[in-house]
A and B are shown apart, each in its own frame.
Chain A
Amino acid sequence: QVQLVQSGSELKKPGASVKVSCKASGYTFTSYGMNWVRQAPGQGLEWMGWINTNTGNPTYAQGFTGRFVFSLDTSVSTAYLQISSLKAEDTAVYYCAREPKHFDYWGQGTLVTVSS
């Protein structure tokens, strides 16, 4: 069965970096794109962008350029989200979700807390 398993919660100081992983299983990793979605505490879902798992080409939504980087390691069927120069407002749950036009499978979410 299809599964997306994300790395565990992170507590980081402002200015630090964090890398969240999303390991896929149960399907051919390069057959489906991988999206990233942010949900700040008590807030709605925000589409951050997606990465083409075939070509490695990322697409970023407005507001998620510069400090946010999507990457892949296809040898282990894993997608990554790296956030640099962390700010308090980056505190959120980050989800990976399969497919570019609708999101049929989701990871369990990774809570990133940014606090001094």
Chain B
Amino acid sequence: QSALTQPPSASGSPGQSVTISCTGTSSDVGGYNYVSWYQQHPGKAPKLMIYEVSERPSGVPDRFSGSKSGNTASLTVSGLQAEDEADYYCSSYAGSNKGLFGTGTKVTVL
């Protein structure tokens, strides 16, 4: 199974919004509401930011939101802050107890 497709990079100025897409197929993103998003700072373990398409774990700021349409999921970071600069990965359940990650997007705060 191929990785989910994400843009390599995205950027925005402080206070602006940035949206990252995650494109899969009807066998993964489009087939299940089990899309999640992870933030990873250099040298650190990934951190769960969104699960089940649009749910936020406790402690994650509401500036982070998720959505899905068809085979494409999206993560939006509103009111960009310097600490949001990181790599972001989507993930989806792909059936038969299998998972899949996206290719990753580097978010730069200008």
Contacts and interface: CB of A to CB of B under 8 A. Distances in A.
A106 interface: yes
B89 A44 contact: yes
Give the interface residue-count category, chain A: 20 to 34
Contact of B38 (A45, A100, A109): A45
B48 A44 contact: no
A107 B101 contact: no
B102 interface: yes
Contact of A59 (B34, B97, B104): B97
A46 interface: yes
A44 B46 contact: no
A61 B98 contact: yes
A37 B51 CA distance: 17
B48 to A, nearest CB: 5
A51 to B, nearest CB: 10
Contacts of A7: none
Interface in B56-110: 57, 87, 89, 91, 93, 96-104
Contact of A104 (B48, B87, B98): B48
B79 to A, nearest CB: 24
A37 B36 CA distance: 15
B1 to A, nearest CB: 6
Interface of A: 35, 37, 44-47, 49-50, 59, 61-62, 95, 97, 100-104, 106-109
Q: Which 5 A-B pairs have the closest CB atoms?
A: A102-B36, A102-B51, A44-B104, A106-B45, A47-B99
Interface of B: 1, 3, 34, 36, 38, 40, 45-48, 51-52, 57, 87, 89, 91, 93, 96-104
Given A45-B89, A46-B3, A100-B97, 12 more contacts: A35-B99, A37-B101, A45-B101, A46-B101, A47-B100, A47-B101, A61-B1, A61-B98, A95-B46, A97-B46, A101-B93, A106-B45
18 contacts: A37-B46, A37-B101, A44-B87, A44-B102, A44-B104, A45-B89, A45-B104, A50-B97, A59-B98, A95-B46, A101-B93, A101-B99, A103-B36, A103-B48, A104-B51, A106-B45, A106-B47, A109-B45
